[in-house]
Amino acid sequence: MATGTDQVVGLGLVAVSLLVFTYYTVWVILLPFIDSQHAIHKYFLPRAYAVGIPLAAGLLLLLFVGVFITYVMLKNQKVTRKVQ
Amino acid sequence: MTKLAQWLWGLALLGSTWAALTMGPTLGLELPLTCREVLWPLPAYLLVTVGCFALGTVGYRVATFHDCEDAALELQTQIQEARADLVRKGLLF
């Protein structure tokens, strides 16, 4: 078994993924079948955010990956130019 | 058929089914309101589910990975011996 921080990080990731999955499932799948007067609805944002937030997060991720690739490529170009 | 072609086929099938059902009312198909409410975020839901599954699997495998303490120590001593040997032979680190 892995030790120390490895275990903590690993189990933390599992917990986070389970949490996100449960919340999102309740939000998207279960809420429409629950009476709109029920108290549970105040714990969830309007449904438009159920598509908006993952979309924004995905775009941010793509942006980050693009910036990282650009940075690495520019650094390589500068190194080859210095060697020449 | 290659794996990529299979995946694309499957996605195209699911995507066209979802598009047909979501645009249904504009073509005359009537679904109950709750079904439509559940239907339209489904692609985003599937993406988030796949992402959560991937994250959970990575986390689980990190937590249950079998460390080999002895092998790690042995490897580190071997690295130090190799460095010393190379420095003796003139390689600059």
Alpha-carbon span A73 to A67, nearest angstrom? 10
Judged by a CB distance cut-off of 8 A, whether residue B65 touches chain A is yes
A25 pLDDT tier (thresholds 50, 70, 90): very high
Residue B19 lies in domain? 3-68
| B91 part of a folded domain | no
Residues of A in contact with B62 (CB under 8 A): 2, 6, 9-10, 13
User: Is B40's pLDDT higher than 90?
Assistant: no
| B13 part of a folded domain | yes
pLDDT one-digit tens code per residue, B13-35: 999 999 888 887 777 777 778 88
Range B59-64 average pLDDT? 90
User: Is B55's pLDDT higher than 70?
Assistant: yes
Residues 6 or more apart whose Cβ sits within 8 Å of residue B49? A21, A24, A25
| B92 part of a folded domain | no
**Cross-chain Cβ contact B60/A47 below 8 Å:** no
* pLDDT given for residue B83 in this prediction: 92
* pLDDT given for residue B8 in this prediction: 95
| B86 part of a folded domain | no
pTM over 0.90: no
Are residues A17 and B53 in contact, defined by beta-carbon separation less than 8 angstroms? yes
Q: How many domains does chain B have?
A: 1
* pLDDT given for residue A2 in this prediction: 63
Range A55-69 average pLDDT? 95
A1 pLDDT tier (thresholds 50, 70, 90): low
- Joined together, the tokens standing for residue A57 give 């997060």
Q: Measured between CB atoms, which of B41, B52, B55 is closest to A50?
A: B41
Residues 6 or more apart whose Cβ sits within 8 Å of residue A10? A2, B59, B60, B61, B62, B63, B64, B65
| B38 part of a folded domain | yes
User: Is B10's pLDDT higher than 90?
Assistant: yes
**Cross-chain Cβ contact B65/A2 below 8 Å:** yes
User: Is A46's pLDDT higher than 90?
Assistant: no
Residues 6 or more apart whose Cβ sits within 8 Å of residue B1? B9
* Amino acid at residue number B70: D
- Joined together, the tokens standing for residue B22 give 């979501």
Place of tokens 């694309």: B8
Tell me the nearest-neighbour CA distance from A62 into chain B, angstroms. 14
| B90 part of a folded domain | no
